[in-house]
Amino acid sequence: MDAPNGSQDTEQTLDSQVKAFFDSAPPLQNRNDIIQKLNHFIQLNSLSSENGIGKRIVCVTSGGTTAPLEQRCVRYVDNFSSGHRGATSTEYFLKAGYAVIFLYRRGSFQPFCRSLPDDPLLDCFEATEGLNIQVGEAYSKAVKTAIVDHHAAVNSGLLLKLPFSTIFEYLQMLQIISKPMKDIGPRAMFFLAAAVSDFYVPWKDMVEHKIQSGSHILDVKLVQVPKMLSVLRKDWAPVAFCISFKLETDSNILIKKARGALEKYNMHAVVANELSTRKEQVVVVTIDDKITVQRDKSKADDDVENPLIKLLSQRHSAYIEDSKRMR
């Protein structure tokens, strides 16, 4: 018998890695509640539209995932991400007419809240005489925007917020979201801005109790998280428009890495960003293009996400038109 060829081999390895990951994951809390909310949200937005064909819906992932080192989690490896990119992009997606499923890390930035200080309640409000409270003048506009615009988006049914913490929660929720998103075909987009752990400790390999600190060296061995972008693109959401991100601290390898990810995971675009300049410019890498997108520096409050989401929205529209012609 011949050995299986390379591609089959890789596929089998990925499948078994994916199975091992999900088999090892602790069951998701509130699974049914999440499914119910999602179905309602997607149904509502896929019907409502001026032209009768339903809205475009984007799943924006945002913030970093954690990889627990202990089952009763005291220690974990965290991936730094403020969630600024995802929160800001969500605002521009709403402006561009999308409905947004915001899959975010607990405690990370929220849409319409990014000009607030770290601890908005304590930093923005002050006590007045008679023990009443009021917003400090400096924050009056930011606080009003945060509450009014945020609640307007949620209450009008255009913004669904779903929080995660661990890599186990994140990937299970992404899988759950992809199912009803299939129903809207190419009008679905995945905008995968979350900083996802590359490594994890399989749940069953973890010690139940807190790791004791007796020894002088802690040797933590983590295994690679299966390349779920492949799985999402191939199995979970084969018709959706898929955008992933590449963040590097070393600009020399950034574009090469982004192009590698584009090809490896068959993304429609990869947004390449370097840690130190990521709020000023990003590069959108597609199969036949490499477009540098910059914020308008002549406007103090412009964001790089403004031109970025405009560009992606155009590309998504073209993708939907192409899909119609292909039918």
- Cα(303)–Cα(7) distance, integer angstroms: 41
Q: Smaller CB distance to a second copy: residue 218 or 318? A: 218
Facing residues of 189 across strands? Answer: 58, 241
Task: Give the type of residue at 56.
Answer: R
Binding marks (x or -) toward a second copy, 176..195, rule CB under 8 A?
Answer: -------------------x
Task: By CB under 8 A, tell whether 267 contacts a second copy.
Answer: no
- Three-state secondary structure of 256-294: HHHHHHHHHHCCCEEEEEEHHHCCCEEEEEECCEEEEEE
Shortest approach of a second copy to residue 152 CB, angstroms? 7
CA dihedral 86, 91, 92, 93 (to 10 degrees): 80
Q: Smaller CB distance to a second copy: residue 222 or 291? A: 222
Binding marks (x or -) toward a second copy, 135..154, rule CB under 8 A?
Answer: x-------xx-xxx-xxx--
Contact indicator for 56, 98 with CB cutoff of 8 Å? yes
Task: By CB under 8 A, tell whether 90 contacts a second copy.
Answer: no
Task: By CB under 8 A, tell whether 255 contacts a second copy.
Answer: no
Shortest approach of a second copy to residue 104 CB, angstroms? 11
- Cα(49)–Cα(221) distance, integer angstroms: 50
Contact indicator for 63, 195 with CB cutoff of 8 Å? yes
Figure out which of the listed residues 53, 73, 138, 287 binds a second copy, where binding follows CB under 8 A.
73
Shortest approach of a second copy to residue 215 CB, angstroms? 8
Figure out which of the listed residues 75, 95, 256, 264 binds a second copy, where binding follows CB under 8 A.
75
Task: By CB under 8 A, tell whether 256 contacts a second copy.
Answer: no
Alpha carbon distances (Å) from 98 to 84, 152, 163, 260: 19, 14, 20, 29
- Cα(59)–Cα(189) distance, integer angstroms: 6
Task: By CB under 8 A, tell whether 78 contacts a second copy.
Answer: yes
Task: By CB under 8 A, tell whether 159 contacts a second copy.
Answer: no
Task: By CB under 8 A, tell whether 260 contacts a second copy.
Answer: no
102 conformational bin, left if phi > 0, alpha if psi -120 to 50, beta if neither: beta
- Cα(78)–Cα(21) distance, integer angstroms: 18
List binders of a second copy among 95-124 (CB under 8 A): 106-107, 110, 113, 116, 118-122, 124
- Cα(204)–Cα(326) distance, integer angstroms: 46
List binders of a second copy among 214-253 (CB under 8 A): 215-224, 247-250
Residues near a second copy (CB under 8 A), total:
60
Unique residue bearing structure tokens 């991400």: 81
Which residues of the shown chain bind a second copy in the complex (CB under 8 A)?
A: 66, 69-70, 72-80, 106-107, 110, 113, 116, 118-122, 124-127, 131, 133, 135, 143-144, 146-148, 150-152, 195, 198-199, 208-211, 213, 215-224, 247-250, 275
